[in-house]
Amino acid sequence: MPALALRGGIPVRAEPFPAWPVCDGREERALIETLRSGVWGIPRPRVEEFEARFAAYCDARYATACTSGSTALILAIVACGIGAGDEMIVPPYTFIATATSVFMANAVPVFADIDPNTFNLDPAAVEAAITPRTKAIVPVHLGGCPCDMDGIMDVARKHGLRVIEDACQAHGAEWKGQKVGAIGDLGCFSFQSSKNLTCGEGGAVTSNDEALAAAVDSIYNVGRLPGKGFHEHFGLGTNFRMNEFQAALLLCGLERLPEQTALRNRNGALLRELLSGIPAIAMQISDPRVTAHAWHLFPFRYKKEQCKGVPREKFLAALKAEGIPCVAGYTPLYRAPLFQNARFGAHGCPAACPFREGKADYSTVHLPVVEQVCGEMLWLQQRILLGAEDDMRDIAKAIAKVVEHADDLL
């Protein structure tokens, strides 16, 4: 095989992969129509249409469209009545908002370790992390791969806990034929720029529970209630409402989503097959009960011991030089300076909340699986899986080439 591109050889690939986000005349027309309509916010006909369509897409009875995945999580937590002195169990392998939204609601996140194959919360680790203060579990469907929702729901039922699904990366993913987002009590989605369904920034909370959905609707709308006056406020809330331009974009994107998800699933399966013979690559193994992956990410573990000890950073640089844009992914969340330096709210709350005995101390947290996984992880982003079959073959070819030339990287 020719020399590595990093060492002056010809790269496997010179053409770019598909760009993201995608749009066409539909988005242009929808945005101009919205602009000219003069209705940019309340009464929000486009937002309501999007909420109805997104709920149907998620097999959920209710959806509330809000400003981001982060605000969706805060809404869900507050709607469950969780606050000062309460704990919620979260994974350490996720975007920081999964944990910080717990703090923003004045509660305390407690980390439980992940499964080394799925990279999702391990239900046994969740059960071991439960204390008398635990109120909820937040399973994150990492990269679009559904969590073991049977295991999570069993633990939740046994201990009387709420389940708030962080489905921010998992639009359209399915567990045993059921879409994620309404398997637990509430589901949270993000429509931020990188997400599989996007309007730049945005989010949604989904549910099948009428009372919880009504609570979300009131909290995100400054405590208003349906049928009551604009200046009547019945509970504590704020303004997390989505606007009409965001909804106009999402209605267009939602039309493309099923076809894009099917394509990502075809390419994800092909790439798995193409990489399966390379010992240096350990792929995310989804549970057989996962009936659709959303493939927001194609995450895999790089086993350097199977590649002559070449450090991950060098392997990554060599892959990039071959024309394959890969990224290294998260570090264990509890290692972030926020947690290590305990930079929380005023008066040390909520980690040192007077409603909670003892101070949460993240400097002593040590979860072996996530620490091992984080040191090995590489991700391909969802837009790559919108390419052609030959694009997947280029990725596999480039990975095989770098492994074969490992000596040149030492």
Provide CB contacts within 8 A for 28, sequence distance 6+.
none
Tell me how far apart the 2 most distant CA atoms of the chain are, in Å. Answer: 72
- Using CB under 6 A as the binding rule, whether residue 192 contacts ligand PLP is answered as yes
Cβ proximity to ligand PLP: between 106 and 190 the closer is: 190
Between the CA of residue 114 and those of 89, 93, 96, what are the distances in Å?
12, 7, 16
Cβ proximity to ligand PLP: between 74 and 307 the closer is: 74
93, 95, 119, 330: residue in contact with ligand PLP (rule CB under 6 A): 95
Let me know if 394 is exposed, middle or buried by CB neighbors in 10 A (0-12, 13-18, 19+): buried
44, 54, 69, 100: residue in contact with ligand PLP (rule CB under 6 A): 69
Residue in the shown chain whose Cβ atom is closest to ligand PLP:
69
Cβ proximity to ligand PLP: between 190 and 207 the closer is: 190
**Binding string, 14-53, against ligand PLP, x = CB under 6 A?**
----------------------------------------
Stretch near ligand PLP under the rule CB under 6 A, chosen from 93-101, 155-163, 244-252, 310-318: 93-101
Nearest C-alpha neighbor of 181 from the set 172, 153, 374, 299: 172
**Beta pairing partners, 62:** 207
Report yes or no: 30 and 151 within 8 Å, Cβ to Cβ: no
> Is the link from the previous residue into 21 a cis peptide, with omega within 30 of 0?
yes
51, 86, 148, 166: residue in contact with ligand PLP (rule CB under 6 A): 166
- Using CB under 6 A as the binding rule, whether residue 100 contacts ligand PLP is answered as no
Min dist CB 77 to ligand PLP, Å, is 12
Backbone torsions φ then ψ of 398, nearest 5 degrees? -65, -40
5, 75, 168, 353: residue in contact with ligand PLP (rule CB under 6 A): 168
64, 134, 169, 243: residue in contact with ligand PLP (rule CB under 6 A): 169
- Using CB under 6 A as the binding rule, whether residue 221 contacts ligand PLP is answered as no
Residue with tokens 């986000």, as numbered in its chain: 21
The number of beta carbons lying within 10 Å of the beta carbon of residue 304 is 17
Burial annotation 311-321 (CB, 10 A radius, 16+ → b, else e):
ebebbbbbbbb
- Using CB under 6 A as the binding rule, whether residue 196 contacts ligand PLP is answered as no
64, 94, 106, 265: residue in contact with ligand PLP (rule CB under 6 A): 94
| Residue ranges binding ligand PLP (CB under 6 A) | 68-70, 94-95, 97-98, 140, 166, 168-169, 190, 192, 203
